[in-house]
Amino acid sequence: MAIGVKVMKRPSDEVSYIRATLKGMALTFKHMFQARVTMEYPEAKSTDDWRIATRWRGTHRMMTDEQGRSKCVACGLCPQVCPANCIKLVPGEDEKGHRYPLIYEIDEFRCVFCGYCQEVCPEEAIHVGVHYENAEYSRDRFVYDLERLQAQTHPVSTLWDPADPRGQ
């Protein structure tokens, strides 16, 4: 025997081949008549025992105020914290001295969905969303601009709360 071959000690007296095979076949046959557990996705998006987590971090959503403007004050924290460097922010200032984003774009392909942007935002403006159906026909559709981020309607992620670690 070659050196270093691991030798398994198996209970060779209790070994069974034919009985074990028949047992296995009985088991697989039984399974053919059991209930299917598949959730058939496009028709059913959640079942009684499964739904998407509220802390799911998907594509972003920009919150708006009552006048429909984005809540973002262009503080620059989210592009600063973003580990993937995928937020493009050009700040602007109106005549009253209110800062707002001139350009606010998120490249969802480069995003790693860490959720830091939502955590860091002082205005609770940018959020990661509970959303996963993002198919598009072209790559450039994945750079979401401000308008698009504001137009999203899906629920936003509830981030991890140290006071309530299990999210209940």
Partner 1 sequence: MSPLEKGFLLLAVVKMIAVFSMVMVGVALLTLMERKVAGWMQNRPGPNRVGPMGILQPAADGIKNFIKEETRPVSANSFLFLLAPALSFIPAVMLIAVIPLAAPLPVDFDTVLPLIGRVAYHGLMPIAVADLPIGFVFILAFSSLGVYGIALAGWSSNSKYSLIGGLRASAQLISYEVAMGLSLIPLLLISGNASFSDIIARQQQGLWFIMPLFLSFFVFLISGFAETNRLPFDLPEAESELVAGYHAEYSAMKFSLFMIAEYAHIVTVAAMVATLFFGGWDIPFTHWDERGGLLQTIVTHGFFFAKMFFWIFFVMWIRWTLPRFRYDQLMAVGWKILLPLSLGYIMVIAIAIQVIEHGFGWTDPRAEGLSLFVLNLVLGWLVFWVLDSGRVVRGIAPRARSAAASGRGN
Provide the binding-site residues for ligand SF4, judged by CB under 6 A: 72-78, 81-84, 86-87, 89, 106, 111-117, 120-123, 125-126, 128
Q: Which is nearer to ligand SF4, 22 or 119 (CB)?
A: 119
CB of 77 to ligand SF4, least distance (A): 4
96 interacts with partner 1 by CB under 8 A: no
Question: Minimum distance between the CB of residue 138 and partner 1, rounded to whole angstroms?
Answer: 23
Rg of the chain, C-alpha, whole Å: 26
In whole angstroms, give the CA distance from residue 152 to residue 62.
8
104 in Cβ contact with 75 (< 8 Å): no
CA 128-131-135 angle, to 5 degrees, is 115
Is residue 9 a contact residue for partner 1 (CB under 8 A)? Answer: yes
Q: Quick check: 85 and 54 in contact, CB under 8 A? A: no
Shortest distance (Å) from residue 5 CB to partner 1: 9
Q: Residue 73 binds which entry of ligand SF4, partner 1, none, with Cβ cut-offs from 5 to 8 Å by kind?
A: ligand SF4
Which residues in the 17-36 window bind partner 1 by CB under 8 A?
17-19, 21, 24-25, 27-29, 31-32, 34-36
**Phi, psi of 77, deg, nearest 5:** -75, -40
Q: Does 139 bind partner 1 (CB under 8 A)?
A: no
Closest approach, Cβ 123 to ligand SF4, in A, equals: 4
CA 118 to centroid of chain Cα atoms: 13
Sheet holding 99-107, edge to edge: 87-93, 99-107, 143-144
> CB-wise, 21 or 54, nearer to partner 1?
21
Do residues 158 and 55 make contact, with C-beta atoms less than 8 angstroms apart? yes
d(CA 39, CA 60): 26
Interface positions with partner 1 (CB under 8 A): 1, 7-10, 12-13, 15-19, 21, 24-25, 27-29, 31-32, 34-38, 40
